[in-house]
Amino acid sequence: MLAKIITFSPEIFLVLALPLIAFVNQYRSSKTAKTFYSIVKVLLIFSILSTIIFYNRSPLPHLLQNDTYTTLYKVLLDILSLGIFFLSCKWFLNKNRSSALYYALGISLVLSLNLMISAVDLRILVGGYFAATILQYFLLKLNDDDDCKVGEIHYRAFSFLLFLIMVLSIIWFQEKIGSAEYSKIAAYYAKHKIQMLDVMAFAGILLPILFMLGIAPFHFCRVELSGLSILPVHVLSNLIPTISAYAVIVYLLTEVFSKFKEIYLPFIEIVAILSLLWGAISAIKEENIRRFFSYCHIYSLGFILLGILPFNNNGITSSFVYFTAYLLTIWGIYMVLFAFKSNGEYLQELTDISGVFSQKPYISVLLMVFIVSLAGSPPMLIFLGKLQVMDNLMINGAYGEIIISMVALLLMINAFFRIIRIMFFEAKVKNFDHTERRIYICLFINMLFFLVGILNPALFIEQFELLLKPIMR
């Protein structure tokens, strides 16, 4: 029993954060964002360490299982969350707002997403999904603006609708197979023929996860809310759920619903291509920075999903390389967004950052490096992912997809150059506030990863291959 409790320690550490935050919020007089961040930081670090230590221990093997695959994603998710919490702290300090709720909701979100990754039962998955959507909804409500209301309603309505669909699907599988466990579902379809309603139930599981992933055409709420939520929430809800959703999708499609391959492969291909083009075309004229990067997110995920096809070992590795590089890059971009501040206001419009180079050259150059990396320019990190994805597509003879992805890449590059042009070539319109040291620290660490990735990419890639082994054939 004790052993089981100990193996639950990653989750326990996260849960522990909630009463501690509540306690401090209630009883401590000086309770700045730093205080809450310190709590979250310590517990998250412990959670990460215990996740690593118990990387192959499963407290409830029929519901949650851990292996190197889940550990990889969970650690990635936790580290990124830690980084986001670190930067968010300053945001709350600057705004002089209480951060207790944010940290509480944030850490809960991390917990629920971790559970989703470890889940081996659809019920746990849907539970985690439900918790994550609810938590995200409350996180959105941290923004008091009225403009946000319509977006919140949309999010509430559609995440609930998708949750319901997911629940109905699980009920279907439960009724038909007698269990919602992944292994049993996989075993059932290994022997039985797939019916039309099975496909619909499968769609009921897949679509909400795609919604969480933010891929076209299920990206709607993500884009709508990205311009409305507060910056820490925007970063958190854009990055963290994506990792979880991606891990879940890859696992579900390779391990649970592998027999649905004939259906989901063209489906994923279509949505991937749609995302590529949709993201790239929409980004060209987008004026809101956050929305711009949301479209960029759609585009990148399209590329990642295109690369993962047909879910073979090569595809999984190459997409993961791309995905990790993408996360590192977009995280760098969000860090820079924290630095774009004028008179205490965090800037959102592209026109606001006109000529930022003249006042913040280093930050601007770093943003440019990240943007160039997103464009897949060599020798940046994403280039390696792009290279592997393209190689994989080539192996599969997907020449049509290669052409489409290249056209989308060109459109996206056009959009990226627009940002660079605005930052570097146009006249300054705003005076920017002093950039906090912690942003530089984060950027420095990020750039170190970048450099190591550029100079010795094998260090990452070889490790990833080892860690992804549980889902490899």
Least separation in angstroms between residue 344's CB and another protein is: 28
Of 49 and 203, nearer to another protein (C-beta) is: 203
Residue with tokens 């260090």: 459
Query: Which token pair is 80?
Result: 């990124």
Q: Is 174 in contact with 198 (CB distance < 8 Å)?
A: no
Least separation in angstroms between residue 470's CB and another protein is: 19
Q: Is 117 in contact with 70 (CB distance < 8 Å)?
A: yes
Least separation in angstroms between residue 447's CB and another protein is: 13
Secondary structure of residue 346 in the 3-state scheme = strand
Of 66 and 282, nearer to another protein (C-beta) is: 282
Cα separation, 404 vs 410, in Å, equals 10
Cα separation, 394 vs 70, in Å, equals 29
Cα separation, 286 vs 294, in Å, equals 10
Least separation in angstroms between residue 218's CB and another protein is: 6
Strands (E), 35-145: none
Q: Which residues bind another protein (CB under 8 A)?
A: 150-151, 154, 157-158, 161-162, 194, 196, 199-200, 202-203, 206-207, 210, 217-218, 220-221, 223-224, 262-263, 266-267, 270-271, 278, 281-282, 284-285, 357, 361, 368, 372, 377-379, 383-384, 387-388, 390-391, 394-395, 402, 406, 409-411, 413-414, 417-418, 420-421, 424-425, 457-458, 461-462, 465
Least separation in angstroms between residue 104's CB and another protein is: 29
Of 18 and 413, nearer to another protein (C-beta) is: 413
Query: Which token pair is 388?
Result: 């592997």
Of 82 and 413, nearer to another protein (C-beta) is: 413
Least separation in angstroms between residue 284's CB and another protein is: 6
Least separation in angstroms between residue 207's CB and another protein is: 5
Of 89 and 272, nearer to another protein (C-beta) is: 272
> Cβ–Cβ contacts within 10 Å for residue 41, how many?
17
> Cβ–Cβ contacts within 10 Å for residue 282, how many?
21
Of 90 and 234, nearer to another protein (C-beta) is: 234
Least separation in angstroms between residue 343's CB and another protein is: 26
> Cβ–Cβ contacts within 10 Å for residue 197, how many?
11
Of 98 and 396, nearer to another protein (C-beta) is: 396
Of 61 and 361, nearer to another protein (C-beta) is: 361
Question: Using N-to-C axis directions, what is the helix angle for 399-425 and 361-374, rounded to 10°?
Answer: 170
Q: Which residues of 128-163 are buried (b: 16+ CB within 10 A; e: fewer)?
A: bbbbbbbbbbbbbbbbeeeebeebbeebbebbeebb
Q: Is 376 in contact with 249 (CB distance < 8 Å)?
A: no
